[in-house]
Amino acid sequence: MRSTTIASSSAARLVLTAGSVTALLAGCGEVPARSFAAVPENRPVAFAPASPRPFVTPTSSPLPSPSATPGDLAGCRDGDCEVRVRVGDAIPIDPRLGVDEITVVGLRADAVRLAFTGTSTVVDGVNTTISRSCYNDRCRVRGAVTISTSRPGRIGDVDLRLAQVAGDTAVLVLEPAVQEGD
């Protein structure tokens, strides 16, 4: 059995549109049954830009020592690291944290756009998109989220913070998410 669940910040428009169609059809004496048949099975994740502002290089203090060599990125596997990244860098994460990989897909002066794959639908940040596909009760999640220096985020059991952006690099801080009751 295959199913897809899609959530995004434009979900409200979809609900309003569906409500309008239902109201129009209800006026004709028939209310349609709720159906998800029109939802595409494999909808690609759309990566919206972090903001419409042009790229600006901040004039702040120099970057800390982390660097984004493949070995350093692998050091983030436990979801606890500080690493310098560029667009295209992919950070492997232990799947037990609900996310398999986080990829940097865009940088701005104070924000970074991250794409991810995994199993968790727990995502916090700005401009969040999520697509979930299930086959025989095995679900995979793909999505994207934007975090900024003033707005941290979360993917699965990994908290994300953008420490700094300078030029074409950013310093990301990953930490295991604090669970309620801890």
Mean pLDDT rounded to a whole number for the chain: 74
For 135, the token pair is 């086959």
Write the pLDDT tens digit of every residue in 140-181: 999 999 999 999 999 999 999 999 999 999 999 999 987 765
Q: Is the dihedral of CA 158, 163, 169, 173 positive or negative?
A: negative
Residues of the chain with pLDDT > 70: what percent? 59
**Range of lowest pLDDT (24-33, 48-57, 88-97, 105-114):** 24-33
Dump pLDDT digits (tens) for 35-71.
Answer: 333 434 444 444 444 444 444 444 444 444 444 455 5
Q: Give Cα 132 distance to the centre of its chain.
A: 12
* Residue 113: burial class (beta carbons within 10 Å; 0-12, 13-18, 19+): buried
How is the chain split into domains, by residue range?
Answer: 2-9+42-176
Cβ neighbour number for residue 167 with a 10 Å cutoff: 11
